[in-house]
Amino acid sequence: MNQVYKEQNGYIALITLIIIGAVVLISVITLTFVALKQKNFIISHNYSMKNYYAANACANYAILQLQKNLEYSGNEAISLEDIDCKIEKITGTGNDNRVVITSSQINNQSKKIKVELEQVKPVTIIKSWGETSE
């Protein structure tokens, strides 16, 4: 009878070890997937922020060009290190009510900024500035 009890203890220990190993393996795999998702999210967020700042930089450049020359019409691509941004056709004429739209794209992500200017000279008055989907 003592022999049967010892054999059962061996099976119980083996089954317990297999269950604990399976739980640990599932935990490790889950943590790995979570870490990879988090890494991809951070990379995507960084590209999004680069696009946002590049499109804003182009908008600032376009406003500076308008301040120099009210006839500036946009339709220009600008390279900022590793990101290209585009100034679309600036709408409106003269000193009042001008609209500047710029965009930037990197890794299949894009940002578009729309700036509405109430007045360009002598002091630039911005009516609105923000992201757009137009």
| pLDDT values of the chain reduced to their tens digit, one per residue, 134 residues | 455 555 566 788 888 899 999 999 999 999 999 999 999 899 888 888 988 999 999 999 999 999 999 999 889 998 877 788 999 999 988 888 999 999 998 888 889 999 999 999 889 989 999 988 86
Q: Measured between alpha carbons, how far is 28 from 35 in angstroms, rounded to an integer?
A: 11
Residue range 2-131, CATH number = 3.30.1300
Largest CA distance in the chain: 104
Say how many C-beta atoms besides its own lie within 10 A of residue 55's C-beta. 26
Please state the domain extents for the chain: 2-131
Tokens for 95, please give them: 């000193």
Question: In the Cβ-directed half-sphere of 11, how many Cα atoms lie within 13 Å?
Answer: 5
